[in-house]
Amino acid sequence: MITDKSTKITQDLIDDVKSCYMGAYDETQDGRFHVSELAEILPTDENFLVIFRKNENITDSRDLLKIWKKYDTNSSGYIEQSQLKSFIRDLCHGKKEVDEKKLDEYAEATLKICDRNNDGRLGLREMSKLLNIKSETNFLSQFDEKVKNMSEKEKRRHINRVFQHYAQDGGNELEGERLDAFISDLMDTDSDMDMSQLELSKKSILNFFDINRDGKINLEELAMCLNVYKGL
């Protein structure tokens, strides 16, 4: 570490330090620091939020809603501080020892960073920020421009692709967290929608497009929904 303030910072010195760090921590040898590699560099008390993002399976609204359903145990529409502590405890399990005092510190620090309205809990969009889910991962919005030039045959293939993306396991209907994930993307994950607004949107969509009134959305119903909202 450079401690002499008189030391001149040259590009050669920067390149040398960079080379040392890359040699020690760039496990994938791609010339970049991935989240898991960065976590090895940062001091313990400064890298706890990095742990949230080390799981590369957390990428979009489907993963967000799975996590939400698991930790919003009282279906309040918010992740309270006690539920946030459970989330942190599970994520840290097997990675680092975290006692109750440290859990409190981590939960408070997380709320300080992500709780935009300072109500002492996390809403849906605040949880999305915590998990570092970017607006560009919205599966539906990725195709907004392409849809305009699609033929009818291409649109039909695209509708099937959208359905399979949210159904995941080849199911015939969207329900539960999978339906929530679709509606969250449909209403734009970059907005400030919270769970209560998501529920209202779901009721509205089911009211208009759930033709057989089974509380689910099948392929044909999804096609009608996308036709109205996305011009498909």
* Alpha-carbon distances, residue 201 vs 24, 64, 223 (angstroms): 49, 17, 17
pTM for the predicted model, two decimal places? 0.60
* Alpha-carbon distances, residue 29 vs 26, 50, 55 (angstroms): 5, 20, 19
Same domain, yes or no: 150 and 214: yes
* Coil, helix or strand at residue 216: coil
Number of structural domains the chain divides into: 2
Which domain CATH number covers 153?
1.10.238.10
Q: Report pLDDT digits (tens) over 93-116.
A: 655 667 888 888 888 888 887 888
* Alpha-carbon distances, residue 104 vs 84, 168, 172 (angstroms): 10, 36, 43
**In-domain check, residue 10:** no
Give the phi and the psi of residue 169 in degrees, each rounded to 5.
-100, 15
**In-domain check, residue 63:** yes
**In-domain check, residue 82:** yes
Same domain, yes or no: 50 and 93: yes
| Strand stretches in the chain, DSSP E | 173-174, 217-218
**In-domain check, residue 25:** no
* Contact present, 88 and 106 (Cβ < 8 Å): yes
Same domain, yes or no: 216 and 181: yes
Containing structural domain, residue 195:
137-230
User: Residues of the chain whose pLDDT is less than 70?
Assistant: 1-58, 93-97, 134-136, 189-193, 232
**In-domain check, residue 20:** no
Same domain, yes or no: 170 and 204: yes
